[in-house]
Every structure is written in C-alpha cells, then in structure tokens.
C-alpha cells in the first residue's frame, strides 16, 4: 500500500496514527494493519470508501458482550444445522446425480452467505 493511500485514509478518518515520532512521522499500531486489511477486502468487494467508513464505525460500536452473544447464537444454530444434515444424510445418499445437483444449487447461496458472515465476524470483526 502506498504512502499516498495511507495519507488519504488518515485524512478520511478510516485509520488513525497511534502516535508521532519526534520528527513528526506518524506511527500506526498492528491493529491499524488489520484495519487496512479489512479496508482492502471491502474495496475488493466493491464497497465505496463511505460505506467502508460506516461499516468500521459499526464495528467500533459493538461491545464484547454483543459479539459473544451473536457468536453463541451462531454456534447453537450451526449445531442445529449439523444435526439436520446428519438426519438428512440417508436421504441425500439416495438422490440421483441430477437431484443432488439441484439441491446443491439451491443450498449453496445460503451456505456461502452463512460462511461469509462467520468469516467476517471471526476474522474481520472488531476483536480480530
């Protein structure tokens, strides 16, 4: 990432220097590096810088308790889904290839959305 980009993000308020040196150089923390990684990922996903700023503000507002509650609810939901998959396994194994393809095509977008949500919470959340 270029110096100009870092300067621009600093001016926009997307990142903040941790401190300054005696010669007035800005110093950034390792948390800022994680934040820059999140910003780059959101840019690749075609978020605007304004949308990115709003997302970062939302993440900053989350408390540890809220995140823990959401993760607990997700864990319970995942356990329920795992039980349902085990119950469906005998039926799934009897599907014809075409039936399996159709089922897969219908379930895949929902599954990917869940996986992406978990990835964001676990890897890019405010406490990563």
**Distance (Å, rounded) from C-alpha 122 to C-alpha 78?**
14
The closest of 39, 45, 42 to 9, measured between CA atoms, is: 39
Q: In which element (H, E) is residue 9 found? A: helix 3-12
pTM for the full predicted model: 0.50
Question: For residue 93, how far is the Cα from the chain centroid?
Answer: 33
Q: What's the longest Cα–Cα distance across the chain?
A: 71
Full pLDDT tens readout for the chain, 128 residues? 888 999 899 999 899 888 889 998 888 888 888 889 889 989 998 999 999 998 888 877 776 677 777 777 788 888 888 888 888 888 888 888 888 888 878 877 777 777 777 777 666 554 44
**Is residue 38 a contact partner of residue 56, using CB atoms and an 8 Å limit?**
yes
How does 50-65 read in b/e, with b if 16+ C-beta sit within 10 Å? eebbebbeebeeeeee
Contacts of 59 (CB under 8 A, 6+ apart): 125, 126
């Amino acid at each position: 990432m270029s110096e100009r980009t870092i300067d621009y993000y600093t001016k926009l308020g997307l990142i903040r220097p941790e401190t300054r040196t005696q010669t007035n150089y800005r110093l950034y923390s390792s948390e800022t590096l994680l934040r820059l990684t999140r910003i780059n990922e959101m840019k690749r996903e075609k978020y605007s810088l304004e949308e990115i700023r709003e997302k970062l503000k939302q993440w900053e507002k989350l408390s540890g308790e809220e995140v823990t509650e959401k993760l607990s609810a997700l864990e319970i939901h995942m356990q329920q889904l795992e039980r349902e998959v085990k119950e469906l396994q005998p039926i799934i194994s009897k599907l014809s290839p075409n039936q399996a393809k159709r089922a897969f095509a219908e379930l895949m977008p929902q599954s990917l959305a869940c996986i992406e949500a978990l990835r964001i919470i676990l890897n890019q959340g405010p406490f990563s």
